[in-house]
Chains A and B, each alone.
Chain A
Amino acid sequence: MGLTCSTCKRKSIVDLYHVEKTSADQMVVALAGNPNTGKSTLFNELTGLKQHTGNWPGKTVTNAKGFHKRKDKEFIIVDLPGTYSLLANSVEEEVARDFICFAKPDATIVVVDATCLERNLNLVLQVIEITNRVILCVNLLDEAEKKHIKIDLKKLSDELGIPVIGTVARSRKGLEELMDTVYNVCTKKIIPSPKPTIYTETIETEIQKILNMIKPIVPDGFNPRWIALRLLDGETDILDKITHYSYCKGVCKHA
């Protein structure tokens, strides 16, 4: 076959990160969120596909792609596996994280479960640390209503600094508004300005030190503060990944 281990690996990473855009009017939108918050249901409603949905966590293991047309743009929607965190612990989490970090989608929709918002917001904070092109989709509002949970979407949006849309994906409620917002974020009519998480003074000082060192070497489009934080976490393979990804992008361009 002539395939060596290293070429296979490289190819698979190219496949994973490289969502082919066939025209300039295409936009890549990622769907992220905790397990079992309705990402796949939302994905099916938006794309008209019938990707397997089920009420159990861990169903989507790799990512699925679909299309959604809106005005003059076509959105390539990528359904990511559910994760509690972007600090990769398992393959699924790594897929989701690497996609958001390295494939740099034009927008990321973070889907959260309205009935347990607190648990879900951890991931939201992690995503807005990486990119500002984030839309929060508070899903399962019908379930929350049943449990007499009321969510102040406006206040949530003010606190986080990103657009927040309430939806019931199952009955398509709020999806129009959601996609209008996604459209506006992709076309830069709305530029979300998420409020950064400020850490303790000790950590902030260290972040500054690392930032000064890495700023000249961080490629365009990567958030240096986020990389500094990962390095502080002791995650040194992040640098390998960046180098690897930059290399892969080169391969795609030349191919």
Chain B
Amino acid sequence: MKAIYIPLNKVETGQTCIVQDLRATGAQRRRMLDLGFIKDTEVKVMRRSPLGDPTAYFIRNTIIALRKEEASKILVKVNS
């Protein structure tokens, strides 16, 4: 069975997922790696702001807010 990867911004609030790949490049990619978005890291979607953007994610013991365009570049596998 082929695993289905979806962008992080499509993950529902309250769900946890595992980082699979980063599509960001250059400084943005570097930044994401610095923040801990590395393959096999668990990320929990905490909450979305009233207007739907940005969204708060819980990663490696810290909450980090990402905008949709950033989150869409992080490919994840949702935990079932």
B80 interfacial contact with A, CB 8 Å = no
Q: How far is the CA of A62 from the CA of B36 in the complex (A)?
A: 25
User: How many residues on A have C-beta within 8 angstroms of the other chain's C-beta atoms?
Assistant: 11
User: Does the CB pair B30–A85 fall under 8 Å?
Assistant: yes
Contact digits for B1-30, partner A, Cβ 8 Å, 1 yes 0 no? 000000000000000000000000011001
Tell me if B's interface is mostly helix, strand, loop or mixed: helix
- CB within 8 Å of A: which B21-72 residues: 26-27, 30-31, 34-36, 60-62
Distance between Cα atoms of A87 and B34 in the complex (Å) = 9
Chain B interface residue count, CB cutoff 8 Å, equals 10
Chain A residues positioned under 8 Å from B36 (CB to CB): 118-119, 122
Contact B34 A116 (CB under 8 A): no
Is there an interface contact between A118 and B61, defined as CB atoms closer than 8 Å?
A: yes
List residues 23-61 of chain A with CB under 8 A from any CB of chain B. Answer: none
Interface of A is mostly: loop
Q: In the complex, are the beta carbons of B61 and A116 less than 8 A apart? A: yes
- Could you tell me if A122 and B61 are in contact, using CB atoms closer than 8 angstroms? no
Cβ B61 vs Cβ A119 within 8 A? yes
Produce 1/0 per residue, A105-122, CB < 8 A to B: 000000000011011001
Q: Of B34, B35, B60, B61, which is in contact with the most chain A CB atoms at under 10 Å from its CB?
A: B34
Q: Is A22 among interface residues, defined by CB-CB distance under 8 A?
A: no
Complex alpha-carbon distance, A116 and B60, angstroms: 8
Over the window 72-93 of chain A, the binary record of Cβ atoms lying under 8 Å from chain B Cβ atoms (1 yes, 0 no) is: 0000000000001101010000
Choose from A85, A89, A118 the contact partner of B60 (Cβ within 8 Å): A118
**Residue numbers in A under 8 Å from B27 (CB-CB):** 89
23 residue pairs bridging A and B, Cβ less than 8 Å apart: A84-B34, A84-B35, A85-B30, A85-B31, A85-B34, A87-B30, A87-B34, A89-B27, A89-B30, A89-B31, A115-B61, A116-B60, A116-B61, A116-B62, A118-B36, A118-B61, A119-B36, A119-B60, A119-B61, A119-B62, A122-B34, A122-B36, A233-B30
